[in-house]
Amino acid sequence: AAAGVTLLPGVGFDVVPTDCLAAHLHRRLPDATHLSLALEADGGVSPGTLKTVLSDLGSGGAVRRDGRLRHERVGARTRVVDFGDGLRRAVSIPWGDVSTAYHTTGIPNVDVYLSLPANARRAVAVSSYLGGGLDSDTLQRALSWLVDRYVDGPDAETRSTGEARVWGEARSPDDRVVSRLRTPETYHLTVRTALLTATKVLDGGAPAGYQTPAGAFGPDLILEIPGVERVDLQNDEIVERASGPSASRSVK
């Protein structure tokens, strides 16, 4: 900050849409004490993404409790989430928002979930108990070889037609609000959000020092991306919709 430099990591799918949804939920419920986020995406992951995930599984998971990061095993908790097209079961993961959402909103309790099919949930449960065994150089080389051999990542059609869904809930002792996002496919969205935030920083629009995407540019940053829709719910009823790129709003 003293040097006038902006440090703004996490400008892709991790964490622009989730950070913006967290900030939006805080705007809806300023006295929220608990924030939960959940993710679901079409298509697979790239070899690089999968290698990163596998290399870090041995470190375990994390949540934010009373303003502090707490370690726990990946998949320690599950919950059922409605992303807008039916119920899905999701498991807890150490997504970046357990750090960034706290800095953006000040909400002291944050956890993040990932929607997975039953077989994947079982695999996460097994891997979480292996602990430091996953850090073995030999095992990591073997896993990397398997990824290179069998994982191709989402193809061009999936990247152009797929979508991702984000669900968020903010709670206070007296109230609860829920909002959802639908976005373009994760890798496609990452290109758009990275370019958008980089342009804004270069244009002088970001404060100096460490920033989160929504902390620097507000909760509606994600609505500048074409193909994004945000839905607000109250008592399980849709009360507002907003969509990009114009971020126009209408009440249903």
pLDDT tens for each residue of 12-27: 998 999 999 999 999 9
SS (HEC) of the chain: CCCCCEECCCCECCEHHHHHHHHHHHHHCCCCCEEEEEEEECCCCCHHHHHHHHHHHHHCEEEEECCEEEEECCCCCEEEEECCCCEEEEEEECCCHHHHHHHHHCCCEEEEEEECCHHHHHHHHHHHHHHHHHHCHHHHHHHHHHHHHHCCCCCHHHHHHCEEEEEEEEECCCCEEEEEEEEECHHHHHHHHHHHHHHHHHCCCCCCEECCHHHHHCHHHHHHCCCCEEEEEECCEEEEEEECCCCEEECC
Mean pLDDT of 214-240: 95
The residue written with tokens 């095993």 in the block is 73
pLDDT 10s digits, 76-88: 889 999 999 989 9
pLDDT, position 14: 83
Per-residue pLDDT band at 41 (split at 50, 70, 90): confident
pLDDT, position 250: 40
pLDDT 10s digits, 96-150: 999 999 999 999 999 999 888 776 666 666 665 555 555 567 766 776 777 677 6
The contacts of residue 112 (CB under 8 Å, 6+ apart) are 18, 36, 37, 38, 39, 92, 93, 94, 95, 97, 98
pLDDT, position 74: 81
Mean pLDDT of 63-73: 93
Q: Is the bond preceding residue 15 a cis peptide, omega within 30 degrees?
A: yes
pLDDT 10s digits, 140-195: 677 677 767 766 677 888 778 889 999 999 999 999 999 999 999 999 999 999 99
Residue of 11 and 156 predicted with greater confidence = 11
Percent of the chain at pLDDT > 90 equals 60
pLDDT 10s digits, 241-250: 999 764 344 4
